[in-house]
């Protein structure tokens, strides 16, 4: 085979493409490579003929890898041996990265296959068979790593999908059921923040899950907005009603109709509680108005009642003094006693009311005096009753009449008629004594 002109640059045979990873970017592996470096003994792996053609010696025979015209033949062998060592270094770097989990296993697999596929045409001198075996092992190892990485990605994707499904379901539940609006709103924000950190889901699945979450969030926002709109309407109605109640309370503040007004204030308080709550600032202001009016009325009522109670206490003392006077009325002259009692009763009514707890005891004492005066008058009447006196006189006359008949019959010797008349006289005398006792006992 004719070679290049003497002194020309080496003309290498077609070589396998070299990937960017050929440039060492990490330290060489600590363990020695099972493939021997070619530069230590290039003649072991190749030869140069008289025309400068470089041959690679393999178990299958020789293969031309290039020619060398730039210097001594040994330099040509060394040159192609160094190129082999460069490939070996790249393979070992790939092997080391794969072993420690550095880099992308898929990229390592691609690089290893590219190097292996390029070996039959590589312009190198060295243990190409050993390097191929090394690359076969690297490819197998990279394929395992790619499979493991794929499984890990699948597991990660499944976990990410499951987590987003959990978050979407939680959002949907809150959208349908939540009533703690502040807490639920904060939780949806937290879900959104977590959602943004979850990666590794295919676009179609991710978009479907996002639609679920977004729809749930929008439903929650609509329901929350509707709730607060209703709440605003309720608060506006409560404010209007409480303004009416506050105005009525203020109108009643100067009333002196104590009982009915106090009852109305109790009703107003019940209506106030039933009206619901307005906005806090408005509700507080209206309550101050209502409470101030109520306090003013009850303060006036308390002052009035205190004054009245003091007056009632004084009245009770006056009635006690009057009772002491009434209890000393002389009952021996019922007419004078009745006149004195009438005067006391008139003064009693003029004094006025007393405390509630004194009413019964004082009236009981007055009734006792009235009863005594009435009993004295009754006794006097019974003693001077004309009918009773007439009956006594009648009985006395009948006694005298029958005794005269008895005396006349005895004088005539009529014993029977005398005894009969005497019995009649004795009977009427008994009746006379009874009548006289009745008159004297009245």
3-state secondary structure of 104: coil
Question: Per-residue pLDDT tens for 37-76?
Answer: 988 999 999 999 988 899 999 988 999 999 988 888 888 8
Burial class (CB in 10 A: 0-12, 13-18, 19+), 179: exposed
Paired with 64 in beta bridges are: 55
Question: Per-residue pLDDT tens for 346-360?
Answer: 888 888 888 888 889
Residue 9: alpha-carbon gap to chain centroid: 89
Tokens of 414: 């009529």
Query: How many CB atoms are closer than 10 A to CB 263?
Result: 11
In terms of DSSP H, where are the helices of 178-279? 181-197, 203-252, 258-274
Question: Per-residue pLDDT tens for 390-440?
Answer: 777 888 888 898 889 888 888 888 888 888 888 888 888 888 788 777 766
Query: What pLDDT does residue 218 have?
Result: 95
Distances (CA, A) of 245 to 190, 289, 335: 44, 10, 63
Contacts of 227 (CB under 8 A, 6+ apart): 179, 181
Dist CA 310 CA 304 (whole Å)? 10
Question: Per-residue pLDDT tens for 12-45?
Answer: 333 333 333 333 444 444 467 898 898 899 999 9
The DSSP-derived string for 226-239 is HHHHHHHHHHHHHH
Contacts of 163 (CB under 8 A, 6+ apart): 198
Query: What pLDDT does residue 70 have?
Result: 81
3-state secondary structure of 127: coil
The DSSP-derived string for 10-79 is PEEPP-PPPPGGGS--SPPPSSPPSSPPSTT-GGGTEEE-TT-EEEEEETTEEEEEEE--SS-HHHHHHH
Nearest to 90 by CA among 33, 22, 31: 22
Contacts of 63 (CB under 8 A, 6+ apart): 55, 56
Q: In terms of DSSP bridges, do strands 53-58 and 46-48 run parallel, antiparallel, or are they unpaired?
A: antiparallel
Q: Helix, strand, coil proportions of the chain in percent (round to 5)?
A: 75, 5, 20
Nearest to 137 by CA among 26, 39, 35: 35
Dist CA 24 CA 89 (whole Å)? 8
Residue with tokens 């906005």: 279
The answer to whether 246 and 286 have CB atoms below 8 angstroms apart is yes
Dist CA 287 CA 243 (whole Å)? 9
Query: How many CB atoms are closer than 10 A to CB 88?
Result: 22
Query: What pLDDT does residue 385 have?
Result: 63
Contacts of 210 (CB under 8 A, 6+ apart): 195
Query: What pLDDT does residue 28 have?
Result: 44
Nearest to 400 by CA among 419, 421, 380, 381: 421
Distances (CA, A) of 264 to 144, 156, 252, 253, 261: 89, 71, 9, 11, 5
The answer to whether 93 and 26 have CB atoms below 8 angstroms apart is yes
Distances (CA, A) of 40 to 37, 125, 212, 310: 6, 11, 67, 130
Burial class (CB in 10 A: 0-12, 13-18, 19+), 260: exposed
- Render each residue's pLDDT in the chain as its tens digit; 442 residues: 333 333 333 333 333 333 333 334 444 444 678 988 988 999 999 999 988 899 999 988 999 999 988 888 888 899 999 999 999 999 999 888 888 877 788 888 899 899 999 999 999 999 999 999 999 998 998 888 888 888 888 899 999 999 999 999 999 999 999 999 999 999 999 999 999 999 989 999 999 999 999 999 999 999 999 998 998 899 999 999 989 999 999 999 999 998 999 999 999 999 999 998 988 899 999 999 999 999 999 999 998 888 888 988 999 999 899 889 888 888 888 888 888 888 888 888 888 888 888 889 988 988 998 898 888 877 777 666 667 777 778 888 888 988 898 888 888 888 888 888 888 888 888 887 887 777 666 5
């Amino acid at each position: 085979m004719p070679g290049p002109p003497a002194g020309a640059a080496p003309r290498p045979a077609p070589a396998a493409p070299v990937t960017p990873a050929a440039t060492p970017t990490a330290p060489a592996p600590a363990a020695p490579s099972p493939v021997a470096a070619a530069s230590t003994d290039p003649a072991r792996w190749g030869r140069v003929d008289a025309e400068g053609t470089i041959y690679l010696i393999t178990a299958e025979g020789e293969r031309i890898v290039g020619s060398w015209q730039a210097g001594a033949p040994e330099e040509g062998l060394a040159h192609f041996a160094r190129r082999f060592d460069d490939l070996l270094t790249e393979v070992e770097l790939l092997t080391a990265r794969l072993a420690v989990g550095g880099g992308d296993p898929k990229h390592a697999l691609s690089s290893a296959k590219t190097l292996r596929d390029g070996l039959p045409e590589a312009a190198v001198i060295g243990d190409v068979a050993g390097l191929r075996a090394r690359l076969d092992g690297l490819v197998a190892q990279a394929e395992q790593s790619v499979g493991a990485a794929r499984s890990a990605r699948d597991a990660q994707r499944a976990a990410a999908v499951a987590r987003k499904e959990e978050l979407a379901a939680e959002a949907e539940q809150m959208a349908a059921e939540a009533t703690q609006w502040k807490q639920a709103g904060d939780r949806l924000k937290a879900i959104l923040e977590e959602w943004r950190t979850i990666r590794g889901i295919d676009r179609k699945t991710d978009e479907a899950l996002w639609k679920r979450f977004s729809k749930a969030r929008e439903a929650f926002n609509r329901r929350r907005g509707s709730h607060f709109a209703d709440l605003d309407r309720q608060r506006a109605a409560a404010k209007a009603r409480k303004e009416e109640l506050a105005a009525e309370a203020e109108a009643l503040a100067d009333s002196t109709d104590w009982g009915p007004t106090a009852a109305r204030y109790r009703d107003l308080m019940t209506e106030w509680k039933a009206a619901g709550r307005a906005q806090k600032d408005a509700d507080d202001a209206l309550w101050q108005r209502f409470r101030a009016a109520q306090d003013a009325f009850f303060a006036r009522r308390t002052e009035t009642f205190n004054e009245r109670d003091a007056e009632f206490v004084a009245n009770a003392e006056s009635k006690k003094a009057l009772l002491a006077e009434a209890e000393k009325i002389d009952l021996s002259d019922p007419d004078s006693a009745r006149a004195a009692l009438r005067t006391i009763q008139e003064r009693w009514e003029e004094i006025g009311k007393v405390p509630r707890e004194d009413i019964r005891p004082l009236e009981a004492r007055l009734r006792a005096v009235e009863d005594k005066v009435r009993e004295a008058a009754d006794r006097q009447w019974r003693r001077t009753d004309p009918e009773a006196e007439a009956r006594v006189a009648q009985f006395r006359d009948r006694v005298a009449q029958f005794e005269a008949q008895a005396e006349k019959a005895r004088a005539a010797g009529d014993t029977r008629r005398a005894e009969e008349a005497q019995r009649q006289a004795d009977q009427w005398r008994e009746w006379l004594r009874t009548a006289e006792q009745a008159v004297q006992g009245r």
